[in-house]
Amino acid sequence: MPVSETHRFLFGRTPWTLDKRLWVLCGSQTMDWFYHNLYHGCVDLRRTMEIWGFEHGIDLTVHIDWYGALDFSGNPDPVEAARLFETYSGSGRALPFGQRRRRSPDAQAPSATEPQPPQEGDGQSQAQQTATQASDAAGGVNQAIENVFTRLSNALRNQDTKTLLILDGLSEFLQGLEIDQQKTAGNLRKLIMKWNQNISQTNLVVFIETDKTGLMRFLPPEHYTNVNFDEIRNIQDGEVKGALLRMERRHDFQLVGLDAISKALARNGSLRLAAQKVMRVLNQAQEGQRQVTLAKVLQLPPLNKTAITEIKQEINELTGLKDIKIAILNIEQKARSLRQKLEDGESELPEETLHMIFYGSPGT
């Protein structure tokens, strides 16, 4: 089943139906697990977005890690992906908007230590390229980071390769960089702000942020028309159901009342927590009892038959109160029936409670 058919913020969406090309996914839910199926397993939000992109024809995904380094591991062939990126992104020299480098089919991913010969159509002579590499080396780590983002800017301008760029925790990365290298952090912000106008409609940037305020400061959507902030909220029943079905097959146990269990676990607001609760039931089960019910997931305590008998006896010994005694008996029968249905997987967790309020004149 495609990702876009099961997840709350991707349902019905493709990279090509989004009206804005800079998409900020924010909120505490970004730390949750998102996609679960038999093939991909339990994956985080970054991997969910990569799978979603490839399902809809993305050619290349690029991820920036916490150290500002490029990561192509989310692609089916990371080596080929790195080669493709190098072909289109060029050196650390920004290209004018609309200008593209000519792709060379035999281009190899450049070495991190050896100077590379100029590629056809890149507009640089050997002397210019040598000078650029010397400048990068002299600039140290900060210049290298700026060059990475300049190359990203070049790739995002390109219209020939459909690219999904994912930046995880960018605002925290920039804040950390600003402590020692304020100028570099400022230059990166300026580059990113230009993406608003310069990004091609064939490309998409996804920012994953637990707190949106960091990006709001320099990418406010009221000033940048190509930026959309989208807060990820609670999970849906269908997401939990998909995860549980995968767990059932992988761990060889039986789910009794799948729909009821899925609905109840969705109330926790976390797919990770939902999976953990089911695994706790399995870990506590005795040998040979590989069955998960809603009652076990909810950890319903065992019935204290002795206490119930004593309470009923005490109530029955009271004088009068016929209607109250009947009402309490009905509540007991209702509770027992509901509990049995929960244990059998035949009922959902009800919205109502069995709390009671006694009111009346003094002595009630």
pLDDT-wise least confident of 1-15, 141-155, 239-253: 1-15
- Please compute the mean of the pLDDT values over residues 294-315 and round it to a whole number: 86
Q: Please, are residues 246 and 41 in contact by the beta-carbon 8 Å criterion?
A: yes
> In this predicted structure, what is the pLDDT of residue 2?
76
pLDDT digits (tens, 9 = 90+) for 198-227: 999 999 999 999 999 999 999 999 999 999
Task: Look at residue 192 and tell me whether its pLDDT is greater than 90.
Answer: yes
Give the bridge partners for 166, in sequence order: 63, 206
> In this predicted structure, what is the pLDDT of residue 185?
92
Q: Where are the domains of the chain?
A: 3-231, 237-344
pLDDT digits (tens, 9 = 90+) for 55-87: 999 999 999 977 778 999 999 999 999 999 998
Q: Please, are residues 196 and 22 in contact by the beta-carbon 8 Å criterion?
A: yes
Q: Tell me the pLDDT band of 346, cut-offs 50, 70 and 90.
A: low
